[in-house]
C-alpha cells in the first residue's frame, strides 16, 4: 500500500479531515491563552508584596507558556485560512504535509507546556492563601484556573497524538516516516 499514488480527490478528502482538528486546536489554544491571561491579570493586580514574591514562579511560567502558545495560534490560524482558500485546481498535498508536520511539532511544544503548567500547578499549591488579598477573588479560583489549563493541555496533547496516529493509519502513503 505505501507505493500507492495519492489521488487528488483523496488529498482533498484528507485536507477536509484536517480542517476540524486544526480549528479545534486553534480554539483550544485560544482558551488556554485566555486562562493564562486571566491568571496573570489577577496576579498583577494583587497588592500584597509577599504574595507577589511567593507567586513569582507561577507568573514566570505562565509568561513562558504564552511564548509557546502565541506563535501556534498564529500558525494554526494561517493553516485554517490556507485550507479555506485552496483552489480546487491546486494540489493540496504540500499543504496537508505542512499541517501534519505542524501537528507533530505542536505535539512536542504541548509537552513543554504540560511540563511548565505542572511547575505552575505545584507552585500555586505551595502558596499561603492568607497572602492573597485580591478583592472578590480567592486564591482557589487561581488554583482552579491553573488546574483547568493543566487538564486542557493534557487533553490537547492526547488529541494531537491521536490525530497524527489516525492519519498515519488511514493514509500511510501520505504520512509515513520517510516523508
pLDDT value, residue 173:
80
Grid cell of 134 as nine digits? 485580591
Among left, alpha and beta (phi > 0; psi -120 to 50; other), residue 149 is alpha
- Stretch among 28-32, 64-68, 169-173 having the lowest mean pLDDT: 169-173
The residues spanned by each domain of the chain are 22-170
Confidence of residue 6 (pLDDT cuts 50, 70, 90): low
Grid cell of 11 as nine digits? 488529498
Residue whose grid cell is 492526547: 158
**How far is the CA of 143 from the CAs of 51, 118, 122, 124, in angstroms?**
14, 12, 10, 6
pLDDT, mean over the chain: 88
Is the pTM higher than 0.75? The answer reads: yes
Of the candidates 137, 133, 175, 167, the residue with the CA atom closest to the CA atom of residue 21: 167
Query: How does pLDDT run across 12-21, given as a tens digit for each residue?
Result: 888 988 999 9
Query: Is residue 21 a contact partner of residue 158, using CB atoms and an 8 Å limit?
Result: no
Tell me the CATH number for domain 22-170.
1.20.140
- DSSP per-residue codes, 92-132: THHHHHHHHHHHHHHHHHHHHHHHHHHHHHHHHHTS-GGG-
Query: Is residue 158 a contact partner of residue 110, using CB atoms and an 8 Å limit?
Result: no
Amino acid at each position: 500500500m505505501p507505493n500507492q499514488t495519492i489521488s487528488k480527490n483523496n488529498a482533498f478528502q484528507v485536507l477536509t479531515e484536517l480542517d476540524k482538528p486544526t480549528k479545534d486546536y486553534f480554539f483550544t489554544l485560544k482558551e488556554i491563552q485566555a486562562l493564562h491571561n486571566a491568571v496573570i491579570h489577577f496576579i498583577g493586580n494583587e497588592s500584597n508584596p509577599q504574595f507577589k514574591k511567593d507567586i513569582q514562579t507561577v507568573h514566570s511560567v505562565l509568561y513562558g507558556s504564552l511564548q509557546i502558545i502565541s506563535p501556534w495560534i498564529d500558525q494554526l490560524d494561517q493553516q485554517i485560512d490556507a485550507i479555506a482558500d485552496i483552489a480546487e485546481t491546486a494540489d493540496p498535498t504540500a499543504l496537508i504535509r505542512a499541517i501534519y508536520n505542524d501537528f507533530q511539532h505542536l505535539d512536542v511544544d504541548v509537552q513543554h507546556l504540560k511540563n511548565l503548567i505542572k511547575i505552575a500547578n505545584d507552585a500555586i499549591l505551595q502558596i499561603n492563601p492568607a497572602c492573597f488579598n485580591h478583592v472578590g477573588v480567592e486564591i482557589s479560583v487561581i488554583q482552579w484556573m491553573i488546574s483547568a489549563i493543566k487538564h486542557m493541555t493534557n487533553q490537547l496533547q492526547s488529541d494531537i497524538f491521536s490525530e497524527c496516529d489516525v492519519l498515519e493509519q488511514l493514509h500511510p502513503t501520505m504520512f509515513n516516516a520517510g516523508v
